[in-house]
Structure 1
Amino acid sequence: MDNKTHTTLLFSLLFFITHLTNASSKDQCNQNDKKTLLKIKKSLNNPYHLASWDPKSDCCAWNSLECDDATVNRRVISLTIFSAQISGQIPPEVGDLPYLQKLVFRKITNLTGQIPHTITKLKYLRFLRLSWTNLTGPVPEFLSQLMDLDYLNLSFNYFSGSIPSSLSLLPKLSYVDLSRNRLTGTIPESFGSFPGKVPDLFLSHNQLSGSIPKSLGNLNFNRIDFSRNKFIGDASMLFGANKTTFSIDLSRNMFQFDLSRVEIPNTFGILDLNHNGITGSIPVQWAETPFQIFNVSYNRLCGRIPTGGKLQTFDSYAYFHNKCLCGAPLDSCK
């Protein structure tokens, strides 16, 4: 074989390999996933936000989504649509992305309707964030079928009705945010018995009422925010010297308990109890706690504010409008 023939064969082989590589790279995305994504785009009225979703290109290169690391037939594992000018409802076809691990619709004010039941088909879903939208209806019971779910954020919507007790069945749940909705009723008793890790629990800015289930005292929460609801009664069971809690916000409710008897761990960074009916005095031991945020204003507390630690680093706004608290940063005790 002469050099010219050899060179021609080599170029032909290189062209074939390059063509094969290009062809496969254009088609790396699983075709069923691609068809589903195009249905989702159509259901959302072909928004400009999804302009990169061109059927002629590899869907793993499209904006707002992510595929797994396979070299061919890659599956869509993440769909994140954020801050988009989109009107309509969550397309039921999202349930036809069987390998989806992360689903986000966030800051889409014209997204309406309810959470589609088809979401229960997403057996690998770990991260669900539907926030800052106009979604309505109940927080669905069927979310408890998502057994891999670790993160649930439904904040800043218009969900109504009660909190489904079945959420406590999810074995991997570590974060629950239902704040800033229109939820009513009580905290489910079952929330005192999460089977796995104790989740961070954010329920603020709703219309929840009643007493806190005593069973919640059995758990070692890291972060709790029950602020701006209509809760009543005792919440002291949430505290404990042997816990590792970092943050509790119970502000703007109607809680009534004796603060003098409350013990807290030295892990506390944030404590906000303002606007309740809490009585007693601030325990002396609290002076050594490394608070970053602290507020007990608008309660019925009495006695001297403990000295010698962090409590004097907060201004009078953290303490005022109590029955008879005194000492720096308030007026001196008589």
Structure 2
Amino acid sequence: MATKLFLLLILLSHVASSLSEECHPQDKRTLLQIKKELNNPTLLSSWKPHTNCCDSSWYGVICAPSNNRVYSLLIEMNEDLASPFPPSIGNLPYLESLLLYQLPNLTGSIPRSITKLTDLKSLTIKKTGISGPIPNFMAKLKSLTFLDLSENHLSGTLPFNLFHLPNIEAVLLQNNKLTGSIPPSMARLNSLVVDLSHNRFEGDASVFFGFAKKTETIDLSWNMLAFDMGKLEFPESLKHLDVSQNRIYGKLPDGVKNLEWLNVSYNRLCGEIPTGGIMQALDRNSFSHNKCLCGSPLPSCK
């Protein structure tokens, strides 16, 4: 009986060993190093050296069935995790999706090592303590389609070369401390969603508009932007526009009639609100607190 039990234990140990080998050794070493760089938070207590990181037991880790390489990493909603951004994340060469969310004590700047993630398609670093500028080297992430750096402590100006992201579909940078003017080079950015709201941008933002664009949503609210709205050319694809709480002047162009939602309140706009589309169906708060806008849903023009 003792011999059979011993053989069973040997068999089980071989099975456990083979299961642990399903996780690529390089990826496992990298994940354990990331855990160390994050000061071994209890959130990652399931990341154990002698277990398989690809069998769904490791928190936030997903491997591709085809090659057992880590392609998605999610770490979120933990106030006890306190450390700088772990540079070893750049050593997961097959990573396609990275989400770091609601980690207020994750601090420091975005490390250059992130540029080694050449397969990265979705990057979310949101509601963290990350600070410093958005680095120019972010433009090296050529596979990126989704970029969300919102609700952090990022400061400084926009990188001039963000337009180098050829596949980008969404750029979300709201609720930071970003400043300065919008680089003219951003005119070549052709994403579907742009959100720069709740920052400190100033000057002209007309680079985000134009007939040739494919943009569907633009939110520039709560900045210090100042440009002539009457000169804007709206892409046919544009459906949602929020430029409230700025210093924008001029009149509303006829293109606003094709929108599905609009907010231009708290600016310096003048003239009659165009008729047609959803303009008269919108709440008056969408147009209020301007210099001299008039017409339905505001009081009629004299």
Same fold by TM-score, threshold 0.5 exceeded? yes
Q: Which runs of 5+ in 1 are unaligned?
A: 1-14, 306-310, 312-318, 320-324, 327-332
Distance 1:287 1:66, change over 3 A: closer
Distance 1:68 1:58, change over 3 A: same
Tell me how far 1:177 sits from its aligned partner.
0.6
Distance 1:139 1:281, change over 3 A: same
Q: Kindly report which structure 2 residues correspond to 1:134-283, keeping only aligned pairs within 5 A, or say none.
A: 134-194=129-189, 197-214=190-207, 216-218=209-211, 219-240=213-234, 243-259=236-252, 261-264=253-256, 266=258, 268-283=259-274
User: C-alpha offsets along residues 13-54 of structure 1, whole Å, 9 cap, x if unaligned?
Assistant: xx9998865542232100010011001101111101001001
Q: What is the TM-score of this pair, normalised by structure 1?
A: 0.80
Alpha-carbon contact 1:269-1:293 (below 8 Å) kept: no
Supply the distance in 2 between the matched residues of 1:303 and 1:96 (Cα, whole angstroms).
Answer: 58
* % identity of equivalent residues: 34
Supply the distance in 2 between the matched residues of 1:293 and 1:34 (Cα, whole angstroms).
Answer: 57
Alpha-carbon contact 2:257-2:275 (below 8 Å) kept: no
Distance 1:236 1:37, change over 3 A: farther
- Give the alignment partner of residue 99 of structure 1, picking from 76, 82, 94: 94
Q: Does 1:38 align with 2:32?
A: yes
Supply the distance in 1 between the matched residues of 2:231 and 2:194 (Cα, whole angstroms).
Answer: 15
Equivalent position of 1:113 in the other structure: 108
Tell me how far 1:265 sits from its aligned partner.
5.2
Q: What is the TM-score of this pair, normalised by structure 2?
A: 0.88
Q: Which amino acid aligns with 1:284?
A: T
Alpha-carbon contact 1:107-1:131 (below 8 Å) kept: yes
Q: Secondary structure at the match of 2:161?
A: helix
Q: Which runs of 5+ in 2 are unaligned?
A: 1-8
Tell me how far 1:158 sits from its aligned partner.
1.1
Q: Kindly report which structure 2 residues correspond to 1:42-121, keeping only aligned pairs within 5 A, or say none.
A: 42-60=36-54, 61=56, 62-70=58-66, 74-84=68-78, 85-121=80-116
Alpha-carbon contact 2:269-2:293 (below 8 Å) kept: no
Aligned residues: 291
User: C-alpha offsets along residues 88-120 of structure 1, whole Å, 9 cap, x if unaligned?
Assistant: 111110011110111111100111100010000
Give the superposed CA RMSD.
Answer: 2.6
Distance 1:64 1:293, change over 3 A: farther
